Amino acid sequence: MFENRHIDWEQNARQQPQGEYICSRCGTPLFGAYQKFDSKTGFPSFWSHLGDHVQQHLLSTYGRDRIQLLCHHCGLHLGHLFQDERTPTQVRYCINAESIRFNPSQPEEGEK
């Protein structure tokens, strides 16, 4: 579906701040900023998640199967998982912007 929407991975890496995206309800770290990319869909998109903090749940609604993404700690609905051959993992975590918050990391002493 998005095969004609090219991702410039080098530019993407330069544009990402340092930090992580956390659950807006409970604060659990879900995605590293380095895992975020512009999928050209209008939704925050990631190519992977941190640890086992994102739970996958099969949904059979609206006449089709989808994979729902939930915060493993509090169960908040995060979004859905889709196949996307453009990413390093061949999947795209399509996330509801209201379900995550950015938590910037502090530079180590000597970095700036």
Q: Residue 48, exposed/middle/buried by CB under 10 A (0-12, 13-18, 19+)?
A: middle
Of the listed 26, 71, 74, 94, which one is catalytic?
A: 94
Tokens for 7, please give them: 């991702």
What is the radius of gyration, based on Cα positions, of the chain?
Answer: 15
CB atoms within 10 A of CB 49: 23
Active site (annotated) includes residue 94: yes
If you search the block for the tokens 């999947």, which residue do you land on? 91
Catalytically active residues are 94
